[in-house]
């Protein structure tokens, strides 16, 4: 089991999740964070920290977010780790409630 970052993180990257993770399993891309499923210890501490409710336990994922299991697993192999919270992306508040952000994900490589 693992926890999974889903679509609501895209174009926001609030990064509050990063500061509470006891095992540093977040990795950062240009406009999205992912969790390394090999490192996550299922503590759930990150879930209430995310202001846009982007993080779910794998088994609780909404049907239309299932693809993010694979997205987190794959991108966490190549994107760099992030160890501390930072400023959100400039338009994070604007994007926070936007629907259908999947198309905005910069994928697959970080720059």
23 sits near ligand SF4 (criterion: CB under 6 A):
yes
DSSP code at position 81: B
- Residue from the set 34, 54, 65, 75 that interacts with ligand F3S by CB under 6 A: 54
Q: Alpha helix locations (H) across 1-111?
A: 16-20, 67-75, 92-95
Only segment of 34-42, 66-74, 78-86, 100-108 that touches ligand SF4 (CB under 6 A): 34-42
Judged by CB under 6 A, the chain residues 44 through 83 that form the site for ligand SF4 are 44-46
* Residue 59 CB neighbour total at 10 angstroms: 8
DSSP SS3 for 9: helix
52 sits near ligand F3S (criterion: CB under 6 A):
yes
């Amino acid at each position: 089991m693992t926890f999974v970052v889903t679509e609501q993180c895209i174009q926001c990257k609030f990064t509050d999740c990063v500061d509470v993770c006891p095992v540093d399993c977040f990795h950062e891309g240009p406009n999205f964070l992912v969790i390394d499923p090999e490192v996550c210890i299922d503590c759930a501490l990150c879930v209430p920290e995310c202001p846009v409710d982007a993080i779910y336990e794998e088994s609780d994922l909404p049907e239309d977010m299932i693809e993010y299991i694979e997205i987190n697993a794959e991108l966490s192999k190549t994107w760099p780790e992030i160890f501390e919270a930072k400023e959100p992306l400039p338009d994070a508040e604007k994007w926070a409630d936007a629907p259908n952000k999947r198309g905005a994900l910069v994928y697959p490589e970080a720059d």
